Structure 1
Amino acid sequence: MVSIETIKAAQAGDREALIALLRDIESHVYRTAYYILGNEQDAMDASQEALIRIYTKITSYEEKALFKTWVQRIVTNICIDKFRRTKPSVSIDEHEMVFASEQDVEAAVLRKDAAKDIHEAIERLPEHHRAVVVLRYLNDFSYNEIADTLNLPINTVKSYLFRARHQLQGMLADYQKGGVRG
């Protein structure tokens, strides 16, 4: 992750440090945006907006919070605002795949179907539940980091995660039984 020296250099106006900092965080920003918003185009727009905001506000970052928490707060807030303005639509990219055997094809299709189902289940969660799931399980944030990022009490974070897990278990019950959704 980003070093404090790089952050301080970027805050002091070092253009190369700022570019390195933005490059280091852009994939994390995009991943969060994609899972909250649910489609590539909206995620790219939100990521770009978040990176611009980080670029323009880097001097306002204070070491009171972890840098990744500060960054995730920015991208999450942008995504939640964007989500409220427009409801997301699912966009699954189709890629040509080459496999050695039929078993490889079947395994790849099952993995892709499972990933699609999980993504769609996350998309159906209420926006705050979705945000805590993305921060916890995709960005590996602690409860405290999620609370700081979303400006929520820690018990609310725990409650949202509990409810989100329960909802996801219901939506993905066929996988728990070893079956395939149909």
Structure 2
Amino acid sequence: MVALELIKAAQSGDRDALIALLREIESHVYRTAYYILGNEQDALDASQEALIRIYRKIDSYEEKALFKTWVQRIVTNICIDKFRKTKPTVSIEEHEMVFATGLLVEEEVLAAYVAKDIHDAIDKLPPHHRTVVVLRYLQDFSYNEIAESLDLPINTVKSYLFRARQQLQSLLQDYQKGGVRG
């Protein structure tokens, strides 16, 4: 079954289709939540809340929007609500970093520092900038999909991304000078 068939079956009350649909999207939901919130526990909480909300509101999904943008809107709104309630903690776990095969130990260590610095820089962005960066560069959403997911004008999305890139450039300026932060 393709996703559209799963959606229609889930909307018609097919419990197995709904479970299959939720399983298909759960890793994307978690990834978005993790990169927006910055830590595993908050991401797990937000993911669970998003999946429950999707489960309860699957009947309200209309094909006017892409399913993935509808899902991202739900998880993003939940993450933004969590930001309003508490300030997130910044953490990254090195065991989650993926290294290209064949790297020397020194290169792996350097890659770990670079990855951590990039994640730390993204975590320092304001929530609305972090969200558009996550959707654009980690979830590979188009500008239109981001605008639709966040219910923002496309020019606002472009502005947020522009400002976020400026902030990241400033936060990661040591790399432009050839150095590694540590």
Do both proteins adopt the same fold according to a TM-score greater than 0.5, normalized to the shorter chain? yes
Are the equivalent residues in 1 in contact too, given 2:92–2:119 (CA < 8 A)?
no
Are the equivalent residues in 2 in contact too, given 1:10–1:58 (CA < 8 A)?
yes
CA distance in 1, matches of 2:9, 2:27: 21
Are the equivalent residues in 2 in contact too, given 1:2–1:21 (CA < 8 A)?
no
CA distance in 1, matches of 2:69, 2:136: 12
Deviation per residue, 1:46-100 (Å, 9 max, x gap): 00000010011001000000000000000000000001111111223254xxxxx
CA distance in 2, matches of 1:147, 1:113: 32
Runs of 4+ in 1 over 3 A off after TM superposition: none
In structure 1, stretches of 5+ residues that fail to align are 96-102
CA distance in 2, matches of 1:90, 1:35: 10
TM-score, structure 1 as length reference: 0.92
Counterpart of 1:10 in structure 2 is: 10
Root mean square deviation of aligned Cα:
1.5
Counterpart of 1:106 in structure 2 is: 106
Counterpart of 2:100 in structure 1 is: none
State whether structure 2 residue 119 is matched by structure 1 residue 119: yes
- Give the aligned residue type for 1:5: E
State whether structure 2 residue 57 is matched by structure 1 residue 57: yes
What percent identity do the matched residue pairs reach? 81
- Give the aligned residue type for 2:81: D
- CA drift of 1:178 comes to 3.0
Matches within 5 A, 1:23-172: 23-95=23-95, 104-172=104-172
- Provide the secondary structure at the position in 2 that maps to 1:145: helix
- Provide the secondary structure at the position in 1 that maps to 2:149: helix
Are the equivalent residues in 2 in contact too, given 1:125–1:164 (CA < 8 A)?
yes
In structure 2, stretches of 5+ residues that fail to align are 96-102
- Give the aligned residue type for 1:67: F
TM-score, structure 2 as length reference: 0.92
